[in-house]
Amino acid sequence: MQFKYLPLLIFISISTQLINADSFPADEWEVISPSDVGVNNSSVESLISIAFDDSATQAVVIIKNGKIIGERYADGFNKNSHGTSWSMAKSYYAALIGISLERGEISSLDDPVSMYLDYFNDSRKVITIRDILNMSSGLNYPDHQHETMFFKSDQLKYSKKIKLQKEPNTLFEYNNVNSMLIGDILYKVTGKKADTLLKERILDPSNTKNYKLWKDEAGNTLTYCCIDMSAREYSRFGLLFARNGNWNGNQIIPKSYVDETFQVVWETPNWFTDHKRYYSMHWWVSNYTEESKIFNASGKFGQYIFVDRENDIVVTRITKYPQRDLGDIQKWGPLKTFSWLGVKTSIVISRFLLDTGIIKEGRNVVTPVTLEEGESSKFYKNYQDFIEGITALSN
């Protein structure tokens, strides 16, 4: 009699192993119960509630072992609704540097940038690729972090003119020009624009579809910002890093590059939270303890892809984004007139003119935009609780 239930126990054991085995989504993600992978449902619900305590939240997707164990969408949005990345894009394009290293297109992260960009053969010749990735290049750093280039027709031309201000590798300064220059380095070593490389080398191999990669009016890929896709699709990139750069047996990004990325290099300023954060290779570090190491791509208005590599957990949170398809080439039209007023003033004026219909999006005005309803507030106040909530998923 003691062997009566043995076949059932074996079946349950094998099923549990299959559920807990590493898996990858095909066209669609598999959705399972948190309990199927040993996670408390209350922990998942608590994490989602923290995110949606901020009305700016559009979507949250929680993934464990390659399967969705929780997700929620704001009213009027669904699993196919796009969000925009803002600076989460930095982590995407930085990954292409790792691939170029593996392919021998770039010799070393410690190569001077001047080996690849001839216009760096001045005082900037002391800057290395690693300095660019770690946001410690020493390039001129204004209060607006060079966000003003977002309003330029040729943003690469703007970036090329930024000169050395201080000794590299002595100070962390979050500088958008660093990221914009990545695209030019990649172009010089491959002959291809960064958006093409991203599609061919990361998005296609990870079966990522239905996205938009923004470019300026001069045709330069915006490698410091501006990738549009759904929360589920963003999560594929998180899973790729959670799996050491491997996608279903295909080593897309070298594991050595992922290992080097997931370290602590710089302690960062407490801009919006007292929760201690760090930075490395175009990724933020939200937690780095013996119990929990959580890295994340991060966007200006509260967009995040969190990765807990040791526990195979990915959590994506994006904010509300207007759902329209006007192309992927940024055009400012008459709004260009206000760019000299500075970032904050330009945003306020542009929002007013667009919201009131005085200026309409369309042929002359096309740009990724986060309206006030998608601008995070409470989420930043609850940031530490959210990080603790991710940690709780593996407890």
Classify residue 103: in a domain, yes or no. yes
Task: Please state the domain count of the chain.
Answer: 1
CA dist list (Å): 390 to 140, 178, 251, 287: 36, 30, 27, 10
Statement: residue 191 has pLDDT above 50: yes
Q: Enter the pTM of the model.
A: 0.93
DSSP 360: -
Range of the domain at 182: 26-324+376-392
By CB neighbour count within 10 A (0-12 exposed, 13-18 middle, 19+ buried), where does 225 fall? buried
CA dist list (Å): 51 to 8, 47, 164: 40, 7, 40
Return d(Cα 223, Cα 215) in angstroms, integer. Answer: 9
Q: For 4-12, what is the mean pLDDT? A: 44
Return d(Cα 377, Cα 372) in angstroms, integer. Answer: 10
DSSP 203: I
Phi, psi of 2 (to 5 degrees): -65, -20
Return d(Cα 263, Cα 283) in angstroms, integer. Answer: 9
Classify residue 310: in a domain, yes or no. yes
Residue 336 CB coordination number (10 Å): 16
Return d(Cα 214, Cα 195) in angstroms, integer. Answer: 8
Statement: residue 201 has pLDDT above 50: yes
Give the tens place of pLDDT for each residue, 52-91: 999 999 999 999 999 999 999 999 999 999 999 999 999 9
Classify residue 123: in a domain, yes or no. yes
Instruction: Kindly give the residue spans of alpha helices, DSSP state H, lying in 155-282.
Output: 155-160, 176-190, 194-198, 231-242, 255-261
Question: Taking the mean position of all CA atoms in its chain, how far away is CA 19?
Answer: 28
Q: For 95-115, what is the mean pLDDT? A: 98
Number of H helices, E strands in the chain: 12, 13
Give the tens place of pLDDT for each residue, 14-33: 443 344 457 999 999 999 99
Classify residue 111: in a domain, yes or no. yes
Return d(Cα 390, Cα 288) in angstroms, integer. Answer: 13
How high is the pLDDT of residue 367? Answer: 92
Residue 72 CB coordination number (10 Å): 18
How high is the pLDDT of residue 336? Answer: 78
Classify residue 371: in a domain, yes or no. no
Classify residue 349: in a domain, yes or no. no
How high is the pLDDT of residue 21? Answer: 54
**Going by C-beta distance under 8 Å and a sequence separation of 6 or more, which residues neighbour residue 391?**
287, 291, 292, 294, 308
Residues of the chain with pLDDT > 90, as a percent, come to 80
CATH number at residue 284: 3.40.710.10
Classify residue 308: in a domain, yes or no. yes
Q: How many CA atoms lie within 13 A of 329 on its CB side?
A: 9
Annotate 140-167 with DSSP letters as a single string.
---TTTTGGGGG-S-HHHHHHTPPB-S-
CA nearest 137: which of 157, 150, 120? 120
Q: For 247-264, what is the mean pLDDT? A: 97
Element (H, E) at 343: helix 343-355
Classify residue 143: in a domain, yes or no. yes
